[in-house]
Structure 1
Amino acid sequence: MKKLRVGVLFGGRSGEHEVSLLSAASVLKAINRKKYEVVPIGITKAGRWVTASDAERLLNGEASTPEKQLRAGDPETTSAAAVLARGESVIVPPVPSGNRTGALVPFETKASGLEMQAAAASGSVLNLDVILPVLHGTFGEDGTIQGLFELADIAYVGSGVLGSAAGMDKGVMKKLFAAAKLPMVKHVSFLRADWETKPKKVVAQVEAALKYPLFVKPANLGSSVGISKVHDRKELAPAIDLAASFDRKIVIEQGVGGKRGKARELEVAVLGNDNPEASVVGEIVPGKEFYDYEAKYLAEGSYPVIPAKISKAQAKQIREMAIAAFRACDCAGLARVDFLMDPLTSKTPKIYLNEINTLPGFTNISMYPKLWDASGVKYPELIDRLIQLALERRAEKERNQYSR
């Protein structure tokens, strides 16, 4: 049988660039080369799309051990980072190709039949059956790149434009969760412009609605970038300034557990399209006060507990809530759904839906694949299933009419 041609897209302009490189390195190492013809495609931090040959070279480096893979912020242990920064050969994003497979062609090439044939003959077209985007954060999982794939008519892994955008914007996400009657922590949101013009009013609004400690977050970002835990008023303004440097929308949440102790951080992996499945429940025990970027990728001390030490009833409730959250945001393919639970000191702990991540970390030591491994789906099989789900979603889309 003819191999499926799979483009693995990674890098990107977001603050999670290095995490993307680690995820892609794991995917390229594990993907079944007997089943797939793999086309690595890198995007530099400056937004340049590098050729497949450069991209292959950049992710065939030495960063292969779990210890090195965890050091996402250190270019010396992430060989991909240095090579991607040097990439000079450039391709450009997909454009409609007019055939069953999508194509990557130079902007200068018009999409007419003769010019497409000429481009194909010159080797400047990369025809693909499916794209596996291993992009995290802004411009990767926020619906922008998904819109590009839709315009190019290329099958791709993961949620569509709506699900991706909703899963990235914590403000919109929470409104969808509320409409689905899913339990969340108390929160407020406001715009950077409000903070810059009426800071006292914003502080008064926050303190009237919420109790310390608080978590201050940029609405659109991942990997806990720009998030601060705030214990009192003097810490509030610097935390808002930090969040506002990453996004125009800021979300502030009341900390679960209050002063009784740290909330338990629980996670579930979801897989599927219209009939999604949930993995076992896992727990992250952060090495710091909360599971921020440093705790996730740079510092020692954080560790997962899979399955989480909770009751069967609690696990069932969390798994059902994860699928409900997945559907509320119209997600597809994959997502990791995060929960907060009252501390162990609570007699009747409450469970709160925190957020959904539509393109979670995908290294072989990331929670999403580890949760599925504990549920009986090994890493290479997980990649296979995601590719099949992408093709199924494309086939479902082809049933639609776009003209009368």
Structure 2
Amino acid sequence: MKKKTRVGLIFGGKSAEHEVSLQSAKNIVDAIDKEKYEVTLIGIDKEGKWHLNNQSHFLMNEENPKLIEMNKSNQHIAIIPGEDKQQMMNLKETVKLEQLDVIFPILHGTLGEDGSIQGMMRLANLPYVGSNVLGSAVCMDKDITKKLLQQAGIEVAKSVTLKKHQKETVSFADVKEQLGLPVFIKPASQGSSVGVSKVNDEAAFRKAIEMAFLYDHKVLIEESVEGREVECAVLGNEEPKASLPGEILPQGDFYSYETKYIDENGAVLEIPAQLSDEEIRNIQDTAIQAFRVLECEGLARVDFFLKQDGSLVLNEVNTLPGFTKISMYPQLWGVSGLSYPDLIDQLIQLAITRHERDKSLKNTVE
């Protein structure tokens, strides 16, 4: 019998998107091909401790997105950088874990998709799913993302960037004149609409800035773009491919955290979106272009506004998009002919292929 590939699924994290990650992990565990893969669950709690978890009870209240919680184990683990094999140790029993073949870090937000965990996996010499350190870091920072996309000729929403020491100097009147109303205020390095506000007046403006700075040291004030909200999933390394696009039809004011992950009736997802062939090709081509410009690998979800004149405004690129049962990324690949288990399989194989590619590089001078 062929030996199963051992996958270390890292989930949770010290992030505002901790609960989203728990939902994503549950869906991956349920869907992964058990004949091909053996999963080791590694949960990171909100304090940053790493736990070795059991599949049968690694979550509490798993069917309730509002109450879902990681079931902390009493077995903590640590990574041993520099080891070629058995890079993780069970601290309670002071024994090395059986060798993991690949890491699937389904960690959303801070310390999960910003290059931090990716750098740790590089140091530990472990293949991992998703973009490398550079691609993860630049996509996490919406300010840097915008600058790189603009340089490549890809249209993005106009915005003003604020550092914390500048928050008292920004004028609502100046912002109104420059960007119009309403505006969106968001932390520069958060996902899942965490800390995002839509504002129309000065009182709400000040309050929204204060809230956004609770989650980041840099904040974006962004114009409101009128257009259809469409998303495209990208998959691959050197030769990425794009899914059919989907459209978000929010039932509330905008596509908030609650709408994305808590309220299944908060938005209608039209998958695939009702678009012309030309619009589909434009969205797919621009998504792949952005994927390459931002040094992405493995996977990304690229979000756009499709304006009435047919032009595209790129809103955001997410390098570790949600894998919950109502998440757009796996659903887009589903309608594009790639099932959830096959999608997981391809992501793992892409990670292993890239690791083998990276190992071929020299690290000595001859």
In the superposition, relative to structure 1, how do residues 396 and 232 fare at CA in structure 2: closer, same or farther (>3 Å)? same
Q: Does 1:140 align with 2:112?
A: yes
**What residue in structure 1 maps to residue 271 of structure 2?**
306
In the superposition, relative to structure 1, how do residues 387 and 234 fare at CA in structure 2: closer, same or farther (>3 Å)? same
Confirm or deny: 8 A CA contact 2:102 2:351 kept in the other structure: yes
Q: Provide the C-alpha distance between the structure 2 equivalents of 1:148 and 1:106, rounded to a whole number of angstroms.
A: 17
Question: Structure 1 residue runs of 4+, over 6 Å off?
Answer: none
**What residue in structure 1 maps to residue 257 of structure 2?**
293
Q: Which moved more, 1:286-295 or 1:231-240?
A: 231-240
**What residue in structure 1 maps to residue 137 of structure 2?**
165
**What residue in structure 2 maps to residue 238 of structure 1?**
207
1:237-276 to structure 2, matched below 5 A, reads 237-257=206-226, 263-276=227-240
Q: Deviations over 1:273-318 (max 9, x none)?
A: 0110000000011121100111112233312101111221111111
Unaligned runs of 5+ in 2: none
**What residue in structure 2 maps to residue 20 of structure 1?**
21
Q: SS at the partner of 1:156? A: coil
1:330-345 to structure 2, matched below 5 A, reads 330-342=295-307
Confirm or deny: 8 A CA contact 2:113 2:319 kept in the other structure: yes
> Please, what TM-score do these two structures have when normalized by structure 2?
0.94
Q: Provide the C-alpha distance between the structure 2 equivalents of 1:157 and 1:94, rounded to a whole number of angstroms.
A: 19
Q: Does 1:152 align with 2:124?
A: yes
Q: SS at the partner of 1:139? A: coil
> Please, what TM-score do these two structures have when normalized by structure 1?
0.86
Q: Deviations over 1:125-184 (max 9, x none)?
A: 342110001110001011000000000000000001001111110011111111211011
Q: Which moved more, 1:281-290 or 1:204-213?
A: 204-213
Q: How far 1:227 moved relative to its partner? A: 0.3
Q: How far 1:102 moved relative to its partner? A: 5.3
Q: SS at the partner of 2:281? A: helix
Q: How far 1:234 moved relative to its partner? A: 2.8
Q: Please, which of 269, 276, 282 is the counterpart of residue 246 of structure 2?
A: 282
Confirm or deny: 8 A CA contact 1:185 1:254 kept in the other structure: yes
Q: Please, which of 332, 340, 345 is the counterpart of residue 379 of structure 1?
A: 340
- Report % sequence identity: 45
In the superposition, relative to structure 1, how do residues 94 and 268 fare at CA in structure 2: closer, same or farther (>3 Å)? farther
Q: Please, which of 80, 88, 91 is the counterpart of residue 74 of structure 2?
A: 88
Q: Provide the C-alpha distance between the structure 2 equivalents of 1:274 and 1:102, rounded to a whole number of angstroms.
A: 29
Q: Does 1:127 align with 2:107?
A: no
Q: Which moved more, 1:199-208 or 1:265-274?
A: 199-208
Q: Provide the C-alpha distance between the structure 1 equivalents of 2:162 and 2:111, rounded to a whole number of angstroms.
A: 22
**What residue in structure 2 maps to residue 219 of structure 1?**
188
Q: Please, which of 303, 314, 322 is the counterpart of residue 287 of structure 2?
A: 322
Q: How far 1:95 moved relative to its partner? A: 2.2
Q: Provide the C-alpha distance between the structure 2 equivalents of 1:24 and 1:201, rounded to a whole number of angstroms.
A: 41
Confirm or deny: 8 A CA contact 1:270 1:334 kept in the other structure: yes
Q: Provide the C-alpha distance between the structure 1 equivalents of 2:358 and 2:333, rounded to a whole number of angstroms.
A: 27
Q: Provide the C-alpha distance between the structure 2 equivalents of 1:167 and 1:200, rounded to a whole number of angstroms.
A: 27
Q: Provide the C-alpha distance between the structure 1 equivalents of 2:170 and 2:48, rounded to a whole number of angstroms.
A: 38
Alpha-carbon RMSD: 1.9
Q: Does 1:363 align with 2:314?
A: no
Q: How far 1:9 moved relative to its partner? A: 0.6
User: What code does the residue aligned with 1:302 have?
Assistant: A
Q: Which has the higher helix share?
A: 1
User: What code does the residue aligned with 2:57 have?
Assistant: R
**What residue in structure 2 maps to residue 48 of structure 1?**
49
Confirm or deny: 8 A CA contact 2:76 2:91 kept in the other structure: no
Q: How far 1:349 moved relative to its partner? A: 4.1
Q: Provide the C-alpha distance between the structure 1 equivalents of 2:213 and 2:184, rounded to a whole number of angstroms.
A: 14
Q: Please, which of 352, 362, 366 is the counterpart of residue 391 of structure 1?
A: 352
Q: SS at the partner of 1:127? A: coil
Q: Provide the C-alpha distance between the structure 1 equivalents of 2:334 and 2:223, rounded to a whole number of angstroms.
A: 33
**What residue in structure 2 maps to residue 7 of structure 1?**
8
Q: Provide the C-alpha distance between the structure 2 equivalents of 1:376 and 1:162, rounded to a whole number of angstroms.
A: 30
Confirm or deny: 8 A CA contact 2:115 2:137 kept in the other structure: yes
Q: Deviations over 1:15-68 (max 9, x none)?
A: 111110010001011111211121111111111111133x65214x673xxxx4
Confirm or deny: 8 A CA contact 1:95 1:105 kept in the other structure: no
> Number of aligned pairs?
363
Q: Please, which of 167, 183, 197 is the counterpart of residue 228 of structure 1?
A: 197
Confirm or deny: 8 A CA contact 2:279 2:310 kept in the other structure: no
Confirm or deny: 8 A CA contact 1:256 1:341 kept in the other structure: no
Q: How far 1:341 moved relative to its partner? A: 2.3
**What residue in structure 1 maps to residue 312 of structure 2?**
351
Unaligned runs of 5+ in 1: 109-118, 258-262
Q: Provide the C-alpha distance between the structure 1 equivalents of 2:164 and 2:87, rounded to a whole number of angstroms.
A: 39
Q: Which moved more, 1:231-240 or 1:40-49?
A: 231-240
Q: Provide the C-alpha distance between the structure 1 equivalents of 2:91 and 2:122, rounded to a whole number of angstroms.
A: 17
